[in-house]
Amino acid sequence: MSDRTRKINFELDALWEIPLGVLSFLFSRVLRAVLTNLGRYYNPMNKQEQPEWQTISAEFLAKPIKLLWAMSRARWNLHSLIGLAGPFNVTESLSINVSEIAQSTPTWTAVFYTLGDYTTHANISSLTISGENEWETVKLPPGRYLVGLRHYHWSDPLTLPTIRANGQEALAAKQLAAPPDANRFYRDLIQRQGVIHACLNGYVYPLLRFRQWLPARFVRDVFLPVPNPETQFHYGALKTGERLQIQLAANLLETHEIFFSLYNRFCFPLEWYPVTEETHLAKTCDRKAVFIIRVHPKSADATFPTETLKLTTLL
């Protein structure tokens, strides 16, 4: 295909993808606001007094409203096992038994956010703590909070840690089965795709496909609404018949982990895996898709090189 033909096809795609993308984006903002307000008044956790541990699983997402809420808030992190704890009534602080987490995984991140508006207030991780203390405490403004805990390279069984609120034990540790393929349920989510999901995330593909016409900060903030601050993200869109070539900086694999995730154009997971070679060629896309590459440090002193990786789209 000549460069002229590619340019014509690109412009023809833009003629219909961009207007539909704008409508989808507006719909997504309205739906997010509606879900947030409904959550403030009708979320069962608002009335729940005893905190509990839950994990993101097929059972957790069984109700259509939960799947819709999850897809309106963030992009699926397919490489971590995610636990949710709460709600906690906080006047001063929340404390986590990090020694219990370390027994289950060498790499983790805990995020503290308010119930209702889901605003992130703090986060700690295996990269930010010394590892010498049994407990880590986070000071928080008064309110009701949830804790999201991401586990990488988890063990089986896995222990969800004890949590204290304001210095008093509020939630006991919980052990659960966590086989290596615990996240396989993500592969089945696409079977639940409906018109509302297409309207909700229909803007994502044109957002990334035509990103050169938009401010980079806007694209990042919209596509990655709650990114891990310790992770470097690379993302883009692929047409049907295209494939992605990833070239890593020399020795990057010695200091960082690289995770590749592929989603269909409406952000339903298709495949995910770690990248373990300096030059990696992904499979040819059989549909329009979007991707995220997460580059995560293996240690607190690992620094990102000037050019982490190079992405090339091939036909």
Residue with tokens 């033909």, as numbered in its chain: 5
209 vs 13, more confident: 209
Q: Are residues 166 and 285 in the same domain?
A: no
Whole-model pTM: value is: 0.92
Task: Tell me: do 200 and 260 sit in the same domain.
Answer: yes
The range of the structural domain enclosing residue 274 comes to 193-314
DSSP label of 128: T
Pick the closest to residue 312 from 286, 264, 275, 279 (CA basis).
279
Between 64-73 and 3-42, two packed helices, what is the crossing angle to 10 degrees?
120
Taking alpha carbons only, the member of 288, 282, 292, 297 closest to residue 246 is 282
Residues 6+ apart with CB under 8 A from 275: 246, 248, 258, 259, 260, 293
Residue 83 lies in a domain: yes
In this model, does residue 149 exceed pLDDT 80? yes
Considering the domain boundaries, does residue 238 fall inside one? yes
Q: Which of 121, 144, 176 is the last residue of a domain?
A: 176
Residues 56 and 170 in one domain: yes
What CA–CA distance (Å, rounded) separates 46 from 50? 11
User: Percent of the chain scored above 90 by pLDDT?
Assistant: 81
Overall number of domains in the chain = 2
- pLDDT of residue 309 exceeding 90, the answer is yes
- Are 55 and 81 a contacting pair, CB within 8 Å? yes
Q: Is residue 4 part of a domain?
A: no
Q: Render pLDDT for 233-262 as a digit per residue (tens, 0 to 9).
A: 999 999 999 999 999 999 999 999 999 999
Q: List, for residues 257-289, the tens digit of each pLDDT value.
A: 999 999 999 999 999 999 999 999 999 999 999
CATH code: domain of residue 152: 2.60.120
Instruction: Tell me, yes or no, whether 212 and 152 share the same domain.
Output: no
**Residue 218: CATH number of its domain:** 2.60.290
Residues 167 and 59 in one domain: yes
Model confidence band, residue 219 (pLDDT cutoffs 50, 70, 90): very high
Domain end residue (candidates: 147, 176, 205)? 176
End residue of a domain, out of 141, 176, 211: 176
And the tokens for 62?
Answer: 């069984």
What is the per-residue pLDDT across 74-96, written as a single tens digit (0 to 9) for each?
899 999 999 999 999 999 999 99
Tell me: do 208 and 154 sit in the same domain.
Answer: no
Q: For residue 1, tell me if it sits in a domain.
A: no
**pLDDT for residue 119:** 81
